[in-house]
């Protein structure tokens, strides 16, 4: 899953070409016939991400599972490729300064919601007391 998430996150970024080439080489060494079709798939998916602009993250979310299945199948058939997948993840990882996280948590009708993520996170607690007539029946 980490390999798929990293691969998809790299699409339409400055690390995409190197990441794509690393994946293609990884596959080419094990199945040269499959590499050409995979290149078309990679370029097509990266094109989808690029076309969506502001909605690119939604497209990336949709692409993670299919790529996770493809990478899992590769590792099932070629367990020796695990080190190559790890190397791709390390090479494609965006520097911490370029990473950002966003999280939205909502509580309704007297509920409480908590959340934290990333280094140096803090938790902010907000209580919502429903006005009269807002309480659930």
Same domain, 68 and 132: no
Total of domains in the chain: 2
**What's the pLDDT tens digit per position in 18-73?**
999 999 998 888 888 888 899 999 999 999 998 988 888 899 999 999 999 999 99
pTM: 0.65
- Clarify whether residues 23 and 87 are in a common domain: yes
Any residues with CB less than 8 A from the CB of 24 and at least 6 apart, and which?
A: 35, 38, 39, 42
For residues 93 and 123, membership in a common domain is answered with no
Q: Give the integer Cα–Cα distance in Å for 38 and 47.
A: 14
Specify whether 92 is located in the same domain as 106. Answer: no
| Full residue range of the structural domain in which residue 127 is found | 101-137
């Amino acid at each position: 899953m980490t390999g798929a998430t990293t691969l998809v996150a790299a699409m339409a970024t400055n690390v995409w070409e190197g990441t794509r080439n690393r994946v293609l080489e990884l596959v080419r060494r094990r199945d040269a016939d499959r590499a050409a079709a995979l290149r078309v798939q990679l370029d097509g998916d990266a094109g989808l991400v690029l076309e969506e602009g502001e909605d690119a993250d939604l497209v990336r979310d949709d692409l993670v599972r299919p790529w996770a299945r493809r990478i899992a199948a590769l590792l099932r058939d070629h367990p020796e490729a695990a080190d190559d997948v790890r190397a791709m993840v390390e090479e494609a990882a965006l520097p911490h300064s370029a990473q950002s996280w966003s999280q939205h948590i909502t509580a309704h009708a007297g509920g409480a919601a908590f959340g934290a993520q990333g280094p140096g996170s803090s938790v902010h607690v907000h209580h919502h007391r429903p006005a009269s007539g807002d309480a659930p029946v």
